[in-house]
Structure 1
């Protein structure tokens, strides 16, 4: 089969690799029909985080089950499924309490299971990981595009809103206008927020934030963005969603938050250390910090229900679509901010 492989900073190659096969009775093989390039992929793409040369990339697969191990019960060949960005067993202590990202039997989509940006993947712990799309929706392309973000960014934005304590009537600020931040706006609206202030510095993305439900947008950086966000919310909101991961974004979220409020953080940390984090700002304002890597598997069914009901549609975050050969171009487009998020069709438009 063919898959996207990391070959060094700003070098993604499409190579022939062994096709994964059933290795354990809990495995399933999925032919990937839809996947995506994630903003977090850009860290290793730029050389800002370590990645082994020759490793498969991608972690947002959706496709058709081709084979299952003898112990798999929740899916069968022919089913349309999608999978969170991490593999989880579904039965350990952490999975049972909804913290699938801490699964003691967990795994990533790298290594020998195919990677998420390839033609096939082997899903370990298929029953705990794969989410089956109801048959009546399994071939509706518009619905599938709306479901694909549930593999990562929609669930992650939702985790930010939940962690920040957003509920009916809330005022909140969303820091970041990437795919996660935009999904954070959708999530805050879904949870009943009355005012949603989106902060970023790309006009087209802030326009989409407004379409997604942001009541106000702020196009600014640094201290200007912080001051405008606080002024707009009369001294700062009780709920702030940090959706970037950079130290500057984390500290901005802390500074924006009203004393006694909560910052829900989900951006993959980059450049954030104990020395660089405004711990005194948290301490002095009694600001709570909640969140972390999003257990998107815990949210999958409830978010899918809203997508299928037509009340949730994150698909506009996909502003570019490529086939497998176009994955390197997809990375470049996202790196240069020409695309918000790139959808990949590994087998073309079939």
Structure 2
């Protein structure tokens, strides 16, 4: 099979790799029809995080089940499924709590699993991981594009909103205009927020945020952004969603949140250790900090229900669609901010 692999900073190739096979009775083999490039993939692409050259990449697969192990009961060959970015057993203490990303038996899509940006993947713990798409929607391309973000960014944006305590009537600031931040706007609207202030630096993305439900946008940077948000909210919002991970974004969240408010953070931390986080500011204002890596498997069914009934559609975050042979160009477009998020179709007939 063909799979995208990391060959070094700025170098993503497509190579022939062994097709994954059933190795345990809880496994399933999925023919990947849709996948995506994630903002977190850019870390190793830029050389900002370590990754072994030659390793498969990608963690957002959707496709058709081709084969299942003897113990798999939730899906059958021929079923359309989507797969969260983290593999989980569904049975351990943490999975039962809805914290699938802390699964005691967790796994990833790299290594000999095939990589999420390849033609096939092996899902260990298929019953605890794979989410079956109802048959009546399994071949509707528009619906599938709307469901694919549930593998990561839509569930992550939702986790930010839940962690920030967003509810009906809330005023919320969403820090970040990447795919997660934009999905965070959708999530805040879904939970009933009355005012949603989208904060970012790209006018086209802020326009999309408005389409998704943002009532105001802020494009200023640094202290000017803080002052603008506080002016719009008469002293700061009670709910702030940090969807970037950079120290500057987290400190902006701390600076704008109203005393006694809550920050929901889902941006993968980058540079926070080096640049410092204003913990004393949170302490002094009794600010609650909640969040972390999003257990998107816990949210998959409820979000899928809304997508299927037409009340939730994150598909516009995919500003480019490419085939597997162009995956290196997809990384370049995202790295240079020419694309919000790139959808990849590993098979020509998908």
TM-score, reference length from structure 1: 0.99
SS in 2 for 1:298: helix
Confirm whether residue 331 of structure 1 aligns to residue 331 of structure 2.
yes
List, as ranges, runs of 4+ consecutive aligned residues in structure 1 with deviation greater than 2 Å. Answer: none
Shift of 1:349: 4.2
Equivalent residue number for residue 44 of structure 1: 44
Partner of 2:121 in structure 1?
121
Higher mean displacement: 280-289 or 92-101: 280-289
How far apart, in 1, do the equivalents of 2:54 and 2:284 lie? 47
Is there any run of 5+ residues in structure 2 with no aligned partner, and where? none
2:289 match: secondary structure: strand
- Determine helix, strand or coil for the equivalent of 2:8: coil
Deviating more after overlay: 141-150 vs 275-284: 275-284
Query: In the TM superposition, what are the counterparts of 1:17-166 in structure 2 within 5 Å?
Result: 17-166=17-166
Contact 2:19 2:120 in 1 (8 A): yes
CA distance in 1, matches of 2:9, 2:310: 40
- Distance between the aligned counterparts of 1:234 and 1:182, measured in 2? 24
Q: Deviations over 1:83-117 (max 9, x none)?
A: 00000000000000100000000011111000000
Q: Does the CA contact (< 8 Å) of 2:247 and 2:275 recur in 1?
A: no
Other-structure match for 1:220: 220
Provide the secondary structure at the position in 1 that maps to 2:272.
coil
Query: Residue 257 of structure 2 corresponds to which residue in structure 1?
Result: 257
Give the corresponding residue for 2:299.
Answer: 299
Q: Tell me the CA shift for residue 159 of structure 1.
A: 0.1
Contact between 2:164 and 2:290, CA under 8 Å: does it hold in 1? yes
> Which position in structure 1 is the counterpart of 2:341?
341
Shift of 1:348: 2.2
Partner of 2:267: 267
Give the structure 2 partner of residue 279 of structure 1.
279
1:7 counterpart SS class: strand
**Residue in structure 2 matched with residue 16 of structure 1 by the alignment:** 16
Question: Are residues 1:319 and 2:319 paired?
Answer: yes
CA–CA distance in 1 between the matches of 2:207 and 2:69? 46
Structure 1 residues without counterparts, runs of 5 or longer: none
- The number of equivalent residue pairs is 350
Secondary structure, counterpart of 1:209 in structure 2: helix
How far apart are the structure 2 equivalents of 1:281 and 1:39? 29
Matches within 5 A, 1:152-231: 152-231=152-231
Q: Deviations over 1:235-285 (max 9, x none)?
A: 100000000000000010011100000000000110011861111111111
Cα distance in 2 between the residues matched to 1:231 and 1:151: 36
Give the 3 Å change call, closer, same or farther, for CA 77–55 of structure 1 in structure 2: same
Q: SS state of the match for residue 273, structure 1?
A: helix
Q: Deviations over 1:304-325 (max 9, x none)?
A: 0000000000000000000000
Q: Indicate the RMSD between aligned Cα atoms, in angstroms.
A: 0.7
Q: Secondary structure at the match of 2:252?
A: helix
Instruction: Summarize the Cα distance change of 1:7–1:142 in structure 2 as closer, same or farther, 3 Å threshold.
Output: same
Secondary structure of the 2:301 match is helix
Q: Distance in 2 between matches of 1:88 and 1:334?
A: 28
Q: Hey, what's the Cα distance between the residues in 2 that align with 1:118 and 1:321?
A: 15
| 1:247 correspondence with 2:238 | no
Q: CA contact under 8 A between 2:174 and 2:184: conserved in structure 1? A: yes
Helix, strand or coil at the partner of 1:302? helix
1:59-97 superposed Cα distances (whole Å, 9 cap, x missing partner): 000000000000000000000000000000000000001
